[in-house]
């Protein structure tokens, strides 16, 4: 099997980070070589852009600036890290990728889908994740979990209506491409979510 590019998505508090650790543990036990990374970020420059995106409260970016910065970080990350890893036969497990841009900047901020598609083909060419796992939870559940966890960053401080649009955009994307997406209900206890996820992946990948 060719090295897989796997992305994890979901609204805040959907359980992405916990399930990412479980997935990485499972891959390691099967001897799969992989790197773990995230967006925005994943390289020193892209992490610096992440800081600008999430922690600039004075002179916050406009929707278009936010969109362009997401793709600037992505261009750096994709070329210098993701593609290098895949070319070397290493899987890439990435916490968020372009589906987050469709969900947050598209659904949440209302940037036209066509702008995002244009930037996607400019920055990525034909590169797309092989598998995208969306952890889906009702917005109120996700937000109360996120609030209990840490101080909210600039984007996490948006209201529930914003996150309803984000969630809806994620589910719309999943519906349009059932081959690539796996939607996992993130509401049950963590161990149950992990069990369900790993059972699904075991049937998808011959490891
Ligand atoms: P995290 O909370 O998963 O670390 O992600 C950081 C934030 O960045 C999260 O609020 C979602 C947001 N984000 C976007 O708005 N657009 C994107 O393209 C990506 C990758 C993340």
Task: With a cut of 90, say whether residue 187 has pLDDT above it.
Answer: yes
Residue 188 reports pLDDT greater than 90:
yes
Tell me how far the alpha carbon of residue 196 lies from the centroid of ligand 1, in angstroms: 25
Q: What is the pLDDT of residues 14-39, one digit of tens each?
A: 999 999 999 999 999 999 999 999 99
The domain that holds 74 is classified in CATH as 3.40.50.300
Q: Give the C-alpha separation, 51 to 31, whole Å.
A: 34
For residue 103, count other CB atoms closer than 10 A to its CB: 25
Decide: 163 and 108 in contact? Cβ < 8 Å: yes
Cβ–ligand 1 contact at 37 (below 6 Å) = no
How many helices (H) and strands (E) the chain has is answered by 9, 5
CA distances 84 to 8, 34, 81, 132, 189, Å, are 20, 12, 5, 20, 36
CA distance 88 to 77: 16
Give the mutation target among 69, 74, 96, 139 for probing the ligand 1 site: most ligand atoms within 8 A of CB: 96
Counting every residue written for the chain, the total comes to 207
173 ligand 1 Cβ < 6 A: no
Distance CA 158, CA 191 (A): 29
pLDDT tens string 101-160 = 999 999 999 999 999 999 999 999 999 999 999 999 999 999 999 988 888 899 999 999
- Please report, for residues 63, 85, 116, 207, the alpha-carbon distance to residue 104 in angstroms, rounded to integers and kept in the order given: 10, 27, 11, 33
pLDDT at 176: 98
C-beta 39 within 6 A of ligand 1: yes
Measure 145 CA to ligand 1 centroid, in angstroms.
16
pLDDT, tens digit (0-9, with 9 covering 90-100), for 60-104:
999 999 999 999 999 999 999 999 999 999 999 999 999 999 999
Give strand pairing partners of 126.
none
Residue numbers of the domain that contains 115:
5-205
Looking at residue 149, what is its pLDDT?
86
Strands (E), 13-127: 34-38, 91-95
The pLDDT value recorded for residue 150 is 82
Cα–ligand 1 centroid distance for 206 (angstroms): 31
pLDDT of residue 57: 85
Best residue for ligand 1 mutational test, from 155, 157, 173 (most atoms within 8 Å of Cβ) = 155
Q: Name the domain count of the chain.
A: 1
């Amino acid at each position: 099997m060719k090295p897989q590019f796997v992305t994890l998505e979901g609204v805040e508090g959907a359980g992405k980070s916990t399930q990412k650790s479980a997935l990485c543990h499972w891959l390691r036990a099967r001897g799969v070589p992989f790197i773990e990374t995230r967006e925005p970020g994943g390289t020193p420059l892209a992490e610096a852009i992440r800081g600008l995106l999430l922690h600039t409260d004075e002179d916050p970016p406009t929707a278009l600036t936010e969109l362009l910065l997401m793709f600037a970080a992505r261009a750096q990350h994709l070329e210098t890290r993701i593609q290098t890893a895949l070319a070397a036969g290493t899987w890439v497990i990435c916490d968020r990728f372009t589906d987050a841009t469709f969900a947050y900047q598209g659904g949440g901020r209302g940037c036209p889908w066509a702008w995002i598609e244009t930037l996607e083909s400019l920055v990525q060419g034909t590169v797309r994740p092989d598998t995208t796992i969306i952890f889906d939870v009702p917005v109120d559940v996700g937000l109360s979990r996120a609030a209990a966890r840490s101080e909210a960053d600039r984007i996490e401080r948006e209201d529930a209506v914003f996150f309803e649009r984000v969630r809806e955009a994620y589910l719309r994307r999943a519906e349009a491409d059932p081959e690539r997406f796996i939607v996992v209900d993130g509401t049950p206890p963590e161990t149950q979510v992990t069990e369900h996820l790993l059972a699904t992946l075991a049937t998808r990948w011959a490891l």
